[in-house]
Amino acid sequence: MVLPVEPEFEQALDELTTSLQPFLDANPQYKKALEIVQVPERVLNFRVVWEDDNGVPQVNRGFRVQYNSALGPYKGGLRLHPSVNLSILKFLGFEQTFKNALTGLSMGGGKGGSDFDPKGKSDNEIRRFCYAFMGELFRHIGADTDVPAGDIGTGAREIGFLFGAYKRLRNEFTGMLTGKGLTWGGSFIRPEATGYGLIYYVEHMIAKACPEYSLDKPSTLVAISGSGNVSQFTALKVIELGATVLSLSDSKGSLISEKGYTKEFIQRIAELKLKGGSLETLANEEGYTYHAGARPWTLLPTVHIALPGATQNEVSGEEAEALVKAGVRIVAEGSNMGCTTEAIDIFEASRRSGPGGVWYAPGKASNCGGVAVSGLEMAQNSQRLAWSTEEVDAKLKNIMAECFGICLSAGSKWSGEELADGVLPSLLSGANVAGFIKVADAMKAQGDWW
């Protein structure tokens, strides 16, 4: 059967398949599970017609890919961005399935969204779009069926509108979305969770690979891409711990600070982004240098920790080589599939070269903190209670520690290589194998393969 060309999904599938090869060679019965798990359980594609402020009808495409429910209700964000298409959502839903497995929580994998662009739209236009979008989506989601969340373009405002539309359509108040406001079912630490969780994961990597670059040292230099929610809270946690943040970026360029970002400047960026602004408006700020049309990875002479936090495939092979040359020791993705295949190959080759190489963590492991706290929000909703900031943060730290341990253990066993002295196991292999085994075993128990 000839399938449509879906480059993002095919890249994610190829990465998983390659990582699984040593495991599948030893356990050939799981090959059937791989064949089955790569096909989504359900794909929804629908029309969204909404009215702009001039009374003119506009149309967009709506999607929900319900990928796998072996471990729980489908769980994954709703992305609102002109680039959204089925290939991107299949890749994200596929990755989400194994990411959610690594959290240890009862969540399946899914993803959805629309090619609608919130930028440049009024609040009323966004509200009308959200109500039209939910007018179809509500038929297919629910607290025990599919629990969407925010993603690129879908923040607190959009989640509020979507929740309100669902409540009116179903006449029920239930936890069928996560990322809700604190006064109506949301969880503490949810906005911060992906960024904070990334740093909690990285702390374990540093402790094992390069403790001299502890994040409590100002001499530890950290490069971050993106400037949305994930990157802002990643940067704030790094600054809180004491290391130096050198960069943020957006689709138009990068803003570099050799002396390091401050908490106050990050807060200014958060206010700017909330209004739809770009970093180029800060080009003349003292102590910061703006580079139009460039990502941070080739702009810094020395980097110890690199944290891609913008979007998929944002680190190329050439940029990976620049990071290795700059002395990077840890690369961990805050974005989903932030590194190209070529970049990952370069990082993995550096790891195998011996002590002092790069240790790479894929997003399905290092950025699972966001969906982990979404899962904790679901648990709080089910019990009709709210945990404190300290309780949620402690649970997040434990989840990230467990995730790291699982990836390290599976990587040590199934990397398919003899580890020389001082060579660290592949966290890429570990995350893929551990996530796959958990999902495949649940599918087998439920009769999805035998």
Q: What residues are labeled active site? A: 111
Q: Say whether 121 sits in a helix, a strand or coil.
A: coil
Cβ atoms of residues 333 and 362 within 8 Å: yes
Number of H helices, E strands in the chain: 14, 12
The 10 Å CB-count burial string (b at 16+, else e) for 358-393 is bbbbbbbbbbbbbbbbbbbbbbbbeeeebbeeeebb
Is residue 342 within 8 Å of residue 349, measured between CB atoms?
no
CA-nearest of 428, 246, 400 to 327 is: 246
Going by C-alpha positions, the residue among 15, 18, 88 that lies closest to residue 341 is 15
Name the strand (E) or helix (H) holding 72: none
Distant-in-sequence, close-in-space partners of 326: CB < 8 Å, separation ≥ 6: 300, 301, 302, 303
Residues 6+ apart with CB under 8 A from 373: 187, 189, 190, 193, 197, 392, 396
